[in-house]
Structure 1
Amino acid sequence: MSNIAHLAAQSARQIQQAQAVVTHNLANSGTTGFKADLYQAQSSYVDGGAVNGSAVAGSVGGGVDYSSGAIAQTGRDLDIAITGEGWFQVVADDGTLALSRRGDLRVGTDGLLKDATGKTIMGNGGPVSLPPYSSLSIGTDGTISIVPMGELPTNIVALDRLMLVNPPPEALVKSADGMIRVANMDGLEPDANVRVAVGALETSNVSPVGAMVEMITLARSFEQHIQTIKSAEELDASSASIMKLE
């Protein structure tokens, strides 16, 4: 294969990987609190010995867009959205601690406060466990209050406060399970400056229109690289035929 075809094939492979990332983002454009994945690539120049200085496209890993999504009002008392920077601390499916911006909360049959995917919400005192109650409310500072079952509406009891943290963005890492973490999850301290909006949810920060445009652009670029490979193969075949005639 000629250098032209080889370079085009390398680039086409990178475009396929980028398409997979964009497709994943688009599929989660309606997921509450979702943060878009990013794809990074760069040109590497090959040199040394008899090898010429061709540029080869290569992946240099991905990243995550941690920007906030829009706040959508729902009017539901257990829907909360972090306003500005900050994260909820939750228990992931594997039992480890993780970070989330998903605030569509509900009370499980075991009395634990969970999000819509079943992940347990952490409070400053550990997993938030609710005793029988007649009403439940969450303050803008994350304080969880209830009126115990059988008590007067004025007998409001503060149970706990949501574990709201705000580690630096450069410390955040998206794990293979899709959850956000830092190196030392147990070492995170609650941040009193993190605030929540009640009766609202943070939407995904993925723009469906932008993702569709990016997919179309990548698809066209992929087709161009495939056409380049075909043209290079035809050129190789023509050169071989000429050499045979000689």
Structure 2
Amino acid sequence: MDKMLYVSMTGASQNTLAQRSHANNLANISTNGFRRDFEQARAMPVYGDTFPSRVYAMSERPGTDFTPGTLQETGRDLDVAISGQGWLAVQAADGGEAYVRTASLQIDALGQLRTGNGLPVLGNGGPIAVPPEQKVEIGQDGTITIRALGEGPSVLAEVDRLKLVNPDLKQMEKGADGLIRFKGPAPAAVDANVRVTSGFLEASNVNAVEEMTAILSLSRQFELQVKMMRTAEDNSEAMARVLQMS
């Protein structure tokens, strides 16, 4: 009886955690560049002073789906997305290097190039600074070209180049802040073959139908676990009445 209650209790709690994972994916269906989290459950024996006598289901996030999302045209010159494989390097809030697939770039009051959520964009020598300009263009190779204030339309100047990388996806992991990081001892190396598309943003790779189906399936499993707990309680009460009669 105790084992039945334990298994159903742990199953219900892990079902709740699994639903959170899918709910987070669904909540970010409109977040540009979002990568959905995988979710799975596996049996986990409970070890103690003796041989394991109980096994419970443990929900976990074994990895991230790095499948590219669709490109959506915006027409804005500072909206960029990676075409094909690769990543754009940014500076995370902790000062480390992180990577994104798309960004709606902005130039702040100090001339620093930042993503839409305020992260500095990295170039050849660190965060990119853009001088006062009339127009900014970003080439397919990540080159940032500007027309300075007061200059004619034919006078262009190259400012910097976006740091574009393409490491092995097995070495990439998603952090709690949603940014992708490289697991190697040093930041990922620049890859000259990565291409950028200007005027586009990459959509999330979340499939709403799959996520809703998974949430509904987990909800039914949760209800089943609750019924098992009630059955265990009823059986315990019945056994107590039998003992009282004897």
If the length of structure 1 is used for normalisation, what is the TM-score? 0.92
Displacement after TM superposition at 1:48 (Å): 9.3
Query: Helix, strand or coil: the match of 2:103?
Result: coil
Displacement after TM superposition at 1:2 (Å): 2.4
Residue equivalent to 1:3: 3
Displacement after TM superposition at 1:50 (Å): 7.3
Displacement after TM superposition at 1:44 (Å): 2.9
Displacement after TM superposition at 1:183 (Å): 3.1
Displacement after TM superposition at 1:201 (Å): 0.4
How far, CA to CA, are the matches of 2:135 and 2:244 in structure 1? 88
Displacement after TM superposition at 1:33 (Å): 0.5
How far, CA to CA, are the matches of 1:166 and 1:193 in structure 2? 9
Displacement after TM superposition at 1:38 (Å): 2.1
Matched, 1:65 2:54: no
Residue equivalent to 1:110: 110
Residue equivalent to 2:195: 195
Query: Helix, strand or coil: the match of 1:34?
Result: coil
Displacement after TM superposition at 1:82 (Å): 0.6
Residue equivalent to 1:138: 138
Residue equivalent to 1:243: 243
For 1:206, the aligned partner's letter is V
Gaps spanning 5+ residues in structure 2: where?
A: none
Q: Which is further off, 206-215 or 3-12?
A: 206-215
If the length of structure 2 is used for normalisation, what is the TM-score? 0.92
How far, CA to CA, are the matches of 2:130 and 2:47 in structure 1? 65
How far, CA to CA, are the matches of 2:20 and 2:187 in structure 1? 34
For 2:110, the aligned partner's letter is D
Change (3 A) 1:159 1:186: farther
How far, CA to CA, are the matches of 2:56 and 2:69 in structure 1? 35
Query: Helix, strand or coil: the match of 1:98?
Result: strand
C-alpha deviations, 1:144-185, integer Å up to 9, x for none? 111111111111212211100011111112223332111347
Query: Helix, strand or coil: the match of 2:145?
Result: strand
CA RMSD of aligned residues (A): 2.1
How far, CA to CA, are the matches of 1:157 and 1:186 in structure 2? 31
For 1:16, the aligned partner's letter is T
How far, CA to CA, are the matches of 1:50 and 1:179 in structure 2? 42
Count of paired positions: 246
Residue 102 of structure 1 contacts residue 115 of structure 1 at CA under 8 Å; is this kept in 2? no
Displacement after TM superposition at 1:190 (Å): 1.0
Gaps spanning 5+ residues in structure 1: where?
A: none
How far, CA to CA, are the matches of 1:211 and 1:124 in structure 2? 39
Matched, 1:74 2:74: yes
Residue 15 of structure 2 contacts residue 59 of structure 2 at CA under 8 Å; is this kept in 1? no
Query: Helix, strand or coil: the match of 2:35?
Result: coil
Change (3 A) 1:9 1:89: same
Residue 145 of structure 2 contacts residue 158 of structure 2 at CA under 8 Å; is this kept in 1? yes
Identical aligned residues as a percent: 38
For 1:202, the aligned partner's letter is E
C-alpha deviations, 1:14-53, integer Å up to 9, x for none? 1111111111111111111011122232113468997676
